[in-house]
Amino acid sequence: MAKPPSKNTSGRGQRDLRVKVKTAKGRRLSSTRWLERQLNDPYVVRAKREGMRGRAAYKILELDDKFRFLVPGARVVDLGSAPGGWLQIAVERVNALGTKSGKKQGSVLGVDLQEVEPVAGAEVHVLDFLDDDADAKVKAWLGGQADVVMSDMAASSTGHKQTDHLRIITLCEHAAYFAFDVLSPGGTYVAKVLAGGAEGELQKLLKRHFTKVYNVKPPSSRADSSEKFVVATGFRGQQDSDDSEADAS
């Protein structure tokens, strides 16, 4: 199991180890604070050391440590896959490169609106998952249905907390409907959300389609961030009649 980066808890020498950044002429104080946080973030340091494309890779790693959905042989779809950190973790865990002797070989497919630098073991396409034929294309590329659909997507920030919350919940709902179209029975859906009070409808939607729905804040998610992740396991399969009845009520 992955462990959070170790911290100096003795107090001795801790101040000396912290990198401080002076505010340069022409640079905003907020930019200086962001840069200082990045330089002192243990997950950022770890990502550079381990060749990950960002600290977000550890979020999916920690979620998988807890729920075990990225198993060897699994077929995985990563929505909004740039810059590729989640792809890197998925490739290793599902054995997409076939390097784990005696383990089934899985497959990893990433889709994004922008070009993504290639990740060994993953197939990446430029695609808007909201397109009418996106689900058919994804299943054709996978050679069948997916076992996992995961998303670290976030709508462009407006700076207004409630608006941003509503936008990411809407995005998660769209991604969930996409997952209903491509997941095989028993599959898993994982998505980032922002806490803010409008998660109720998303929770109801997922509970109709999955046997278990969890809300988790992994250790690598910053304490001052409102983000959390929904992990829905045990996809029940297509339920078109149930959805029609729910929409009519």
Binding-site sequence positions for S-adenosyl-L-methionine: 84, 86, 112, 128, 152
End-to-end C-alpha distance for the chain, whole angstroms = 45
| 106 within 8 A of 96, measured Cβ to Cβ | yes
Task: List all residues 6 or more positions away from 238 whose beta carbon is below 8 Å from its beta carbon.
Answer: 180
For the chain, percent helix, then strand, then coil, each to nearest 5? 40, 20, 40
Active-site residue 66, yes or no? Answer: no
CA angle, 152 then 240 then 170, to 5°: 30
Altogether, the residues listed in the chain come to a count of: 249
Using CA atoms, how far residue 160 sits from 45, 167, 174, 201, 222, in Å, is 30, 11, 21, 21, 19
Using CA atoms, how far residue 231 sits from 57, 67, 105, 214, 217, in Å, is 16, 8, 23, 5, 11
State how far the Cα of 183 lies from the Cα of 156, in Å rounded to an integer: 27
Question: One of 192, 204, 212, 217 is an active-site residue; which one?
Answer: 192
- Within 10 A of 55 (CB to CB), how many other CB atoms are there? 20
- Count H helices and E strands in the chain, helices first: 9, 7
* Cis status, amide bond into 185, omega within 30 of 0: no
Binding-site sequence positions: 84, 86, 112, 128, 152
Q: Which residues does the annotation mark as catalytic?
A: 192
